[in-house]
Each structure stands twice: as C-alpha cells, then as structure tokens.
Structure 1
Amino acid sequence: MRIGARVSVSRVFEPAEIAAFHSLAGAPEADASTVPEPLVAGMISYLLGVELPGRGTNYLKQSLDFHHAAPASRTLVASVEITRLRPEKHLCDLATTIVDADGRLIATGRALVYVEDVAAGDSAVDREAS
C-alpha cells in the first residue's frame, strides 16, 4: 500500500435490479429510475473489502455526500484512493468518489479503515500522529 494508490470499479444498475432491491427492502412501489444510495455506497464497500486495501479491511468510519441522483441503466464508476497511512495505528485514510458515464459527480466522501499490515511493501508513508 502507498499513498496515491487508487482502484476503480464500474457497474450498471438496471431497473429490474433496483426494483428487486426495493422489494427486498420492503418498498416495492419505489421508483426504479434512479439507483438507491445504499447500492451506490456498496460499490465503495466492495472496493475497500476486495481491492484496496482488500481482504482483512475493517471499516471504522465513512462519510459519503451525494451531489446528484445516480441514474439507472447508466455506467457508474466508483474509486477509492489512499490519502494517508498511519502504520503505527494500522490505519488507512481514503478519498472516495462516484461518477456517472458523463463524469458527473454523484458522490464524494472519505473512509477510514483498519488494516493489520498497512505498512507492508511501502516505506513512503505519512507518519504524522493524529
């Protein structure tokens, strides 16, 4: 892991998937033309738990501000980027963003995660105490 490391994932949520989500959540009459915010946020969860930092990551804190509704049937791209490493505390701070196919900003935020081997493989880390 290193500061500036970044990964992204893209996904299209179709109206039938959105309707299924609403049904599971107990809101079967809800609008399926926009992607529910929990599904959008799930893209960030996937990246943190599988890609960067990856397996063994434990969520401590996340903020996500939505700027626009995410349209159904359109590509969404979620990204996470390491902004700070605190190996003495096993902490990793990340910036999070989600954009649509046109580059319109859907959501931005921050994540703080606990990673046991936060300093593995990189010596250029931010050692500032918090």
Structure 2
Amino acid sequence: MCQMERRMRNATRPPDAIHMSGEWSSSNADSFAICVADKNRLRLGLTALFFAYYLVLLVCAGWFRSVLVTPVFGVINAGIVFALSQYLFGALVAVYYARRMRVIDARIAVVAKGLSLGAVK
C-alpha cells in the first residue's frame, strides 16, 4: 500500500496509539469516523457545487455570449451581473461551510471529551 493511501485510510480512524491502548471505544471510533465522513462530504460537495457554478460562467462566455451581452440596465449586462454573482455565491458557500463546520467540530469535541473521560475511568 502506498504511503498516500495509508494516510487517507488513517485519516478516518483514531490514532493507532490511542486505538491500541483500549482507551478508544468502538462507539467513539465510529463517531469519529462519521464526523470525518461528514466533514469530507461537506468539503467535496461544496467544492463541486462551487466549481459547477464557475463552469457555467466559462461555458456561457465560450458558447453563449449572446446571453451574457444582454443588457440589464445601462451599460451593465448579464455577463457582469453573473460574474459579480460569483463573489456572492462564494461568500454564501463560505458562510454555509463555517456554520456546518461549527456543528461538526462540536460533535468532534464531544467525541474527544468522551475519550478523555474514558481514559480517567
């Protein structure tokens, strides 16, 4: 197994030292894996959504210029409005990401707290 695959596999599991010591229960390991999976799903999903939205701008600029040169008001056309909407979309993605990560981080903290409480017993 190559080193990169090993790192990726270990990213969804607790550290081996903790896992081997018996301090990390099966439920904590499962909770940790679920949190990591949620985090990865969120990152990949939002990245794909952002790139798809950006790709629409590139496709329109390349093949549908007549749509982008449609005047909206004055010298402002649909292309300028759509290009500026990329910034708004990026900001909305960032706010959504921050809010969802706050929830996931809180779940990870609960798992970590359960680990530290389990070590004291």
- TM-score, with length taken from structure 1: 0.26
Q: Could you state the TM-score of these two structures normalised by the residue count of structure 2?
A: 0.28
Structure with the higher strand share, 1 or 2: 1
Q: Give 1 or 2 for the bigger CA radius of gyration.
A: 2
